[in-house]
A = this chain, B = another copy of it.
Amino acid sequence: MSLLVTGSIGIDTVEAPWGKVEDALGGSGVYFACAASFFGPVRLVGVVGGDCPEEFLRPLRENPRIDLSGLEVRSGSKTFRWHGRYHADVNRRDTVSVDLNVLGEAGPKVPPAFRDSRYVFLANSHPQLQMELLSQLGSPSVVAADTMDLWIRNERPALVSLIERLDGLVLNDSEAKELTGLPNVIQAGAAIARMVRRFVVIKKGEHGSLLFVDGKVFTLPGYPSDRVVDPTGAGDCFAGAMMGYLASVGRLSPATLRKAIAYGTVTASLELEDFSVNRLLAASREEIDRRLADLRRMVRF
């Protein structure tokens, strides 16, 4: 099934005690597309400024499974930039600077050739923009989205309207608690599952994830990673692999959803082993499948 993602394309600078990259390829749409491409073709809708060097997007252009015809280059604008700094404990991160630039302007357009997309993922952005993008699509089979604490706090009515139109929502545990006002994450997930059409995935970073579907809950631990270089984009990779797998099987059953979050888990665990999308560029589907088999062995009892 065709898969489309709308998300950011950014120029990232990431510092950590063990290294640094400057002006590296980043953004939710980029991480998502790279991860999803292991499972099938993916259409990327996003916008960059005229300052974005052609060379910069090469890893995307060279991937035959990523269709960039929905990439808008807005010549008078500047590309989104983010600069973050990780602590020795990578669970702690400071944002040094963020320049929305072109992401503060009107959103990109979904090209006519993309309007028949069956599986759609709206990566985190203003829920109004997510809704606008969704309205440009025909009648997709499965629409899922990510969100963030900022919209939960400041744009709740728009976010709730969006959530009611979603088949699936992917969000962090702290966001699930904030959205519902429930301090118990299982109660929060179950409550959000009653707002969406089908499923909710709660991401807990290194602690794994929870899946709520058909009134049931499933859970997986994180893949035990002893080499974490740069967790930027891990959540987008999780969603990319998850949706990529779902689109590849074209079915949204509890069993396919469980396997999808397992693929999300292991693909994200690869991603964080290097800066930017470097580790994903070096990875293969075989490597992801080996890690999936590892994870299956690890949770067997």
Binding site for B on A (CB under 8 A): 88-90, 183-187, 190, 204, 206-208, 210, 217-222, 224-226, 228, 255, 258-259, 261-262, 296, 298-301
Contacts and interface: CB of A to CB of B under 8 A. Distances in A.
B183 A90 contact: yes
Nearest to A299: B299
Contacts of A222: 219
Given A207-B207, A301-B262, A184 B226 contact: yes
Given A204-B207, A259-B301, A301-B262, A224 B217 contact: yes
A217 B89 CA distance: 20
B90 A217 contact: no
B258 A300 contact: yes
Contacts of A296: 301
A209 to B, nearest CB: 9
User: Which of A89, A190, A224, A259 has the most chain B CB atoms inside 10 A of its CB?
Assistant: A224
Contacts of A261: 301
Closest 3 CB pairs of A and B: A207-B207, A186-B226, A89-B183
Given A184-B226, A207-B221, 9 more contacts: A186-B224, A187-B226, A207-B208, A217-B224, A219-B221, A221-B221, A255-B301, A259-B301, A299-B299
Contacts of A220: 221, 299, 301
A246 to B, nearest CB: 13
Contacts of A190: 226
Nearest to A91: B183
Nearest to A218: B298
Contacts of A185: 206
B301 A258 contact: yes
Nearest to A186: B226
Nearest to A265: B301
A186 B221 CA distance: 13
Nearest to A187: B226
Contacts of A219: 221-222, 224, 298-299
A185 B221 CA distance: 14
A5 to B, nearest CB: 23
Nearest to A177: B89
A221 B208 CA distance: 7
Nearest to A209: B221
A219 B298 CA distance: 6
A224 to B, nearest CB: 5
B210 A224 contact: yes
A261 B296 CA distance: 16
A90 B183 CA distance: 8
